[in-house]
Chains A and B, each alone.
Chain A
Amino acid sequence: MSLDCPFVRRLLSRYLDAELSDRRSAAVERHLSQCRSCQRELDAFVAASRFVATGREVDTPDDAWPRLESRLSEHGISGFGDPSAHRMAVGRVVEAHLWSRRLAVAAILVLAVGATLVIPRLRAIFAPGEALAHEISVPSFLAGYTEHRLDLEAEFAHLYRVREIDIEQARQLCPAGKGPAIELPAGYRLTRVMTLSTDTCTGLVLEYHRGDRCLAVVQAPGGHPIAWGSIVHDDRRIGPNHFEVHEDPMRGKVLVHEGRALSLMVVGTCDTQVLGEVATFLTARAETGLAVSGRMSLH
């Protein structure tokens, strides 16, 4: 397996920290033995890592424990030696926070109920119903892509579940809406919506096409940066840094990249609120006129 420089440089930290598979690690080593530029980059990583390691040595304040002990007492936590007293003392501290939290939860509930009533479309999106998404396996999803994609399969198959959303059925569910400010070039049509999920997060991949051109919009909501991304563009790998970043206060960051015969997968984090926003975003596109199903991320 031959690796190119940009790809190797993205793997350098994992190589250095022994977080790569043996096969991938050997491939990186082969590349490094022939590429002085990447070797220098690795040297710099090692030096930076060692430099940060010098920060381990700190002198903690001598009176740290007495002061903590005093603060515990100030908070009424003095029940050591008596299990029930300890729990009661902790309980008093926790109770002090609970009311504010209860108020916050109540406010969220009111907002959620209000939003559900005011925006019936969202109710349709998130209502239980026939599953719109069908699960596809990672290998079949990756079939037909370049060698890079097959590498991705080896890297990430154990991490992600891939679901492709049925666009036609989704369109029937939610034909129109109002979306945020990002503008797409006219003439594109949405050809695929996918989620890539782990147990803890879900990323969205929206692919638009116009002729042989493809525009990929990636949802990385909540202000979270993109977790992982890869494009294959004319058999050349392009990293997420090449994307134009659109800051949107409602949806965090949206990355847009236009290219020929381009396809893209990116994983970010996602929650139901963001899914609602994605739905409105999709429905706002006159040229697509479709939405996504709430089911797609609620797994």
Chain B
Amino acid sequence: MNVTIERKSNGRTEGSGSWRPTMVPSQGAISDETLVRRCLEGEKQAFEILFERYRQPVFALTLRYAGDHDEADDLLQDVFLKVFERLHLFRFQSAFSTWLYRIAVNTSLDRRRWRKRREDPPEDWRDAPETTPADERIDNQRLRTILDEALQELPEHFRLVVILKDMQDFPYEDIASILGISRGTVASRLNRGRRALRKVLERKGFSLEGVTAS
């Protein structure tokens, strides 16, 4: 496989534009911090704007982490409920997005641990149909299923770092802050996580050749 190396700069992919379109307020848009202040002053619409701004990336995180749509939907609700409850604890010393993601990650981890204790895991992905052979055309939905299956096979601490970097495009520093680990740990987990993901996909007979981020 011949892949053109596309290095990144300052945590963002060069040339491809930034994802997280709803996360980063566009020029002239109200900043997150202003919206938080308005929320604390009792303005309901401000919270709705924050929700609309972040619901897609947060849902992407919870979905890829949990690998289950209903579970991710519940998590999305729980995350924003907690955000609202704790809004008065936000100290404006870090970016709101980092604070929000920390809550999202912790909520996801808590839910997983709770499920383990109750021995009530989400529906096993292994019940899904067999992986499509590599030489067949794979539609987007099937690609997502394969991705979810592969991510679920990664150890939790690898999965989160890989999702936060490769899907959410956070710089290492922000990932370190969200997960409460050092930048060195982020780098190490990312290295091992990407390698593990490749091995999982190889084992499942899935080729990464030709895969491009849309």
Contact = CB atoms under 8 A, between A and B. Distances in A.
Interface of A: 9-10, 12-19, 41-58, 60-61, 64-65, 67-68, 71-72, 75, 77, 79-87, 90, 93-94, 156, 159, 198, 200-201, 224-228, 267, 269
Contact of B198 (A16, A47, A81, A93): A47
Nearest to A87: B88
Nearest to B188: A228
A262 B144 CA distance: 46
B167 A44 contact: no
B1 A43 contact: yes
Contacts of B2: 43
Contact of A55 (B44, B85, B88, B167): B167
A83 B143 CA distance: 46
B42 A86 contact: yes
Nearest to B182: A227
B163 A228 contact: no
B213 A65 contact: no
B30 interface: no
Contact of A46 (B3, B19, B140, B172): B3
Contact of A52 (B5, B52, B167): B167
Nearest to A82: B42
A94 B144 contact: no
Interface stretch (B76-84, B92-100, B105-113, B122-130): B76-84
Contacts of A58: 56, 59-60, 63
Contacts of B60: 55-58
B187 A54 contact: no
Interface residues of B, number: 76
Contacts of A55: 60, 63-64, 144, 147-148, 151, 163, 167
The 10 closest A-B pairs by CB, nearest first: A80-B44, A53-B213, A52-B166, A47-B208, A227-B185, A228-B184, A83-B42, A86-B42, A13-B191, A13-B190
Given A48-B194, A55-B167, A83-B42, A60 B59 contact: yes
B198 to A, nearest CB: 5
Nearest to A39: B5
Contact of B147 (A13, A51, A77, A84): A51
Given A64-B55, A65-B48, A228 B211 contact: no
A51 B110 CA distance: 27
Contacts of A72: 81, 84
Contact of B191 (A12, A60, A85, A225): A12
B43 interface: yes
A227 B157 CA distance: 12
Nearest to B83: A68
A227 B181 contact: yes
Nearest to A57: B214
Interface of B: 1-11, 19, 39-44, 47-48, 51-52, 55-57, 59-60, 63-64, 73, 76-77, 80-81, 84-88, 140, 143-144, 147-148, 151, 157, 162-163, 165-168, 171-172, 180-185, 187-191, 194-195, 197-198, 201, 208-209, 211-214
Secondary structure type dominating chain A contacts: helix
A75 B19 contact: no
A17 B11 contact: yes
Nearest to B187: A14
A15 to B, nearest CB: 7
A191 to B, nearest CB: 26
* Residue with the highest number of chain B CB atoms closer than 10 Å, among A43, A60, A83, A226: A60
B170 to A, nearest CB: 10
B72 to A, nearest CB: 8
B20 to A, nearest CB: 9
Contacts of B5: 16, 42-43, 46
Contacts of B39: 86
Contact of A156 (B48, B81, B184): B184
A58 B5 CA distance: 26
A83 B201 CA distance: 52
17 contacts: A19-B172, A44-B198, A44-B208, A47-B1, A48-B166, A55-B60, A56-B167, A56-B214, A64-B73, A65-B52, A77-B84, A80-B47, A83-B40, A86-B42, A90-B88, A94-B85, A225-B185
B194 A61 contact: no
A10 B189 CA distance: 10
Given A13-B194, A55-B60, A64-B73, A198 B87 contact: no
Contacts of B189: 225
Nearest to B192: A241
Given A17-B165, A45-B194, A64-B59, 13 more contacts: A9-B191, A13-B190, A41-B195, A43-B2, A43-B5, A50-B213, A51-B197, A55-B148, A55-B151, A65-B51, A159-B182, A226-B188, A228-B188
